[in-house]
Amino acid sequence: MIHHSDQGCQYTSVAFGRRCRAAGVRPSMGSVGDCYDNAMAESFFATLECELLDPTRFPNPKTAGEALFEFIEAWYNPHRRHSALGYLSPVNFEQQLRGLE
């Protein structure tokens, strides 16, 4: 798992780094003054918010988790094409990278 953040002091602290390591999380930070380094993640979350979260009310956390899994694994990764991936879906891009397609 990767935790991507800005350069805020709460994320650059030694204590936060220790907590990440203890939890098996890899910290990742954007470059100072570079608004484009996080563009793919921002695009994903905007799509997730508009297409799943905004129009849906979840009765409980379990249902929300199942819906997130379904959105990501059944629709987004196999079907959502990205300009940064040569207009391939993430699954097709990985297959092409591995020589499977």
Q: Which of 98, 81, 99 is nearest to 90 (CA)?
A: 81
> For 15-45, how does the pLDDT look when each residue is reduced to its tens digit (9 = 90+)?
999 999 999 999 888 777 776 777 777 788 8
**SS3 string of 43-87?**
HHHHHHHHHHHCCCCCCCHHHHHHHHHHHHHHHHHHHCCEHHHCC
| Tokens 């079907």, residue located | 79
Per-residue model confidence as pLDDT tens digits over 48-71: 999 999 999 999 999 999 999 999
pLDDT band at 92 (very low <50, low <70, confident <90, very high): very high
**pTM for the full predicted model:** 0.61
Burial grade of 76 (CB within 10 A; 0-12, 13-18, 19 or more): buried
